[in-house]
C-alpha cells in the first residue's frame, strides 16, 4: 500500500450512505473498501490491512462497537473512526473506551469526515496502539487517569467538572491537532447549538485555571485564533 493512496475500509449497512461516501472519499485520493456488516469488516480488516477503518455503530450481524472490541483484542491497532447515530453522552464515552481514534455523529458533513480521516492518519503510527486506547495519559506534570476519571497535576488531583475533564481527555487524545470548538461540541457535548462556542470557551477557561496554564504562554492548551484549540505538550499513553 503506497503512502500516496491510503486504503480505507468503510463499513456501513446503508447503501445510500456508502454509495455517496465511497466516491467522495475516492475523489479525495483514498482507496475505498466497502463492507456492509460487522463480521465482514472484521474479516476484511485482518485480511486486507487497511490504513484506516470507518465503522458505523448500528450494523447487522455484529455492531461496530463489538467489531472494534474484537479487532483490538487480537491486537489490530488500525486507526478507527466510529460513526455513531445515537447522540447520548454515554455512547460517546464508550466509543473512546473501546479505543476508537475518533468518532462522528450522524448526520455529519462529509468534509468533516475527511478532516477526521486526515487527522487520524497523520497521528497514526502503523501497528502501534494509539493514545485513544491508553488508560493513562501523561504530558509533563499532567496526568489523566481515564478509567478513574481523574486528572492530576504534579500528583495533586485537579478539581474539574465532568465536562472539563471530557474536554481535556479529547484534547489529550488528539495532541498537536487544531481542534475547533464545533468539533469539541460534537465530540464532548454531542449537541450543537448557536451559543455553544461560548460554552466551550467557558470550560476551557475552567480547565486553564485548574492547569494554571497561561493562555499567552501555554504549556498545555494553546488558542488558535479564529480556529480553536490545540494541546501542545507531548502526550504519552500507558495501559
- The 215-234 contact track toward other proteins, x by CB under 8 A, reads --------------------
- The 66-105 contact track toward other proteins, x by CB under 8 A, reads ---------------------xxx----------------
Tell me whether residue 203 is exposed, middle or buried, using C-beta atoms within 10 angstroms of its C-beta: 0 to 12, 13 to 18, 19 or more. Answer: buried
The answer to whether the beta carbons of residues 215 and 208 sit under 8 Å apart is yes
Peptide bond preceding 195 in cis form (omega within 30 of 0): no
Q: Please, which residue, 86 or 148, has the CB nearer to other proteins?
A: 86
Q: Is 199 helix (H, G, I), strand (E, B) or coil?
A: helix
Report if residue 107 touches other proteins, rule: CB under 8 A: yes
Cell output for 109 = 458533513
In the complex, what is the shortest distance from the CB of residue 4 to other proteins, in angstroms, rounded to a whole number?
Answer: 31
Q: Please, which residue, 48 or 150, has the CB nearer to other proteins?
A: 150
Find the helix or strand (DSSP H, E) in which 139 lies.
Answer: strand 136-139
Interatomic CA distance for residues 145 and 135, integer angstroms: 6
Q: Please, which residue, 140 or 215, has the CB nearer to other proteins?
A: 215
* 152-171 residues near other proteins, rule: CB under 8 A: 161-163
Interatomic CA distance for residues 148 and 144, integer angstroms: 9
* 183-222 residues near other proteins, rule: CB under 8 A: 189-195, 198-199, 202
**Interface ranges with other proteins (CB under 8 A):** 87-89, 107, 161-163, 189-195, 198-199, 202
Amino acid at each position: 500500500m503506497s503512502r500516496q493512496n491510503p486504503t480505507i475500509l468503510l463499513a456501513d449497512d446503508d447503501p445510500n450512505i456508502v454509495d455517496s461516501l465511497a466516491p467522495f472519499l475516492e475523489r479525495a485520493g483514498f482507496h475505498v473498501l466497502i463492507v456492509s456488516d460487522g463480521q465482514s469488516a472484521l474479516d476484511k480488516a485482518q485480511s486486507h490491512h487497511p490504513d484506516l477503518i470507518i465503522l458505523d455503530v448500528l450494523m447487522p450481524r455484529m455492531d461496530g462497537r463489538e467489531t472494534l472490541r474484537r479487532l483490538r483484542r487480537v491486537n489490530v491497532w488500525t486507526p478507527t473512526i466510529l460513526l455513531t447515530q445515537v447522540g447520548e453522552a454515554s455512547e460517546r464515552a464508550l466509543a473512546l473506551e473501546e479505543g476508537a481514534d475518533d468518532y462522528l455523529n450522524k448526520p455529519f458533513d462529509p468534509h468533516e469526515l475527511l478532516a477526521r480521516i486526515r487527522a487520524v492518519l497523520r497521528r497514526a503510527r502503523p501497528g502501534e496502539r494509539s493514545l485513544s486506547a491508553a488508560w493513562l495519559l501523561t504530558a509533563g506534570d499532567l496526568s489523566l487517569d481515564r478509567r478513574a476519571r481523574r486528572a492530576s497535576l504534579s500528583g495533586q488531583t485537579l478539581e474539574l467538572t465532568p465536562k472539563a475533564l471530557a474536554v481535556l481527555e479529547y484534547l489529550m487524545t488528539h495532541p498537536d491537532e487544531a481542534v475547533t470548538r464545533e468539533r469539541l461540541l460534537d465530540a464532548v457535548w454531542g449537541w450543537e447549538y448557536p451559543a455553544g462556542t461560548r460554552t466551550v470557551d467557558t470550560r476551557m477557561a475552567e480547565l486553564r485555571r485548574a492547569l494554571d496554564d497561561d493562555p499567552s504562554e501555554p504549556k498545555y492548551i494553546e488558542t488558535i485564533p479564529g480556529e480553536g484549540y490545540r494541546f501542545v505538550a507531548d502526550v504519552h499513553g500507558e495501559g
